[in-house]
Amino acid sequence: MKKQQVKEAKATPKSEVDVLFDKYAESHQNHTNEVIHWICVPLIVFSLLGLVWAIPFPHLEFLGKYNGFLNWASFLIAFSLYYYFVLSPVLSFMMLWVVGLMSYGIVQLEYWQAAGGPAQWTSCLVIFVLAWIGQFIGHKIEGKKPSFLDDVKFLLIGPIWLLHFICKRVGIRY
């Protein structure tokens, strides 16, 4: 009799980003909480970007006419996009577009401020506080504490966790 060789199926190890998504998803099982996240996470990212954008940045002569295009938010964007790129180049590229649209929105708030509207940072602070209230309501409904209370990097995972659902929906490998 020949010995039958049984090949064991080797499970493909999950990527780091999928491991993070799985962990993040543990505290996001309730449909209402997920809907709240689809609204509040982008608002938190937008408002946080706007708040950091509003921090005065020194004038750098060597930038010349481009001096107004660099601020503290530029560094936050660069750090975040690099982290996302390490996890998933596709999701990083998608976030680049999202951040670009958000930056446009922040500039519109600056124009509104210049035209006599509220200070850009005030608008962003109100959005930030309301969005976080929404987040905590969602987690109260969920019955689980937010992921970032265990590990602060989950504050960065939330936005791309949402984008990965879009990738899955349209069949893009991330």
Q: Token match 């936005």: residue?
A: 159
Does residue 143 or residue 99 have the better pLDDT?
Answer: 99
Residue 66 has pLDDT above 60, yes or no: yes
Q: Token match 């790129």: residue?
A: 85
Residue 6 has pLDDT above 90, yes or no: no
Domain for residue 9, yes or no? no
How far is 80 from 76, CA to CA, in rounded Å? 6
| Band of pLDDT at residue 152, cut at 50, 70 and 90 | confident
Q: What is the pTM of this model?
A: 0.87
CA angle, 125 then 127 then 85, to 5°: 95
Q: Are 164 and 21 in contact (CB under 8 A)?
A: yes
Domain for residue 4, yes or no? no
Average pLDDT over residues 33-58: 97
CB count, 10 Å around CB of 51? Answer: 21
| Band of pLDDT at residue 10, cut at 50, 70 and 90 | low
| Parent domain of 132 | 16-57+69-170
Domain for residue 5, yes or no? no
Domain for residue 24, yes or no? yes
Domain for residue 128, yes or no? yes
Give residue-wise pLDDT tens across range 100-135: 999 999 999 999 999 999 999 999 999 999 999 999
Domain for residue 1, yes or no? no
Domain for residue 3, yes or no? no
Give one DSSP letter per residue of 101-114, joined into a string. Answer: HHHHHHHHHHHHHH
Q: How many domains, in total, are found in the chain? A: 1
Domain for residue 137, yes or no? yes
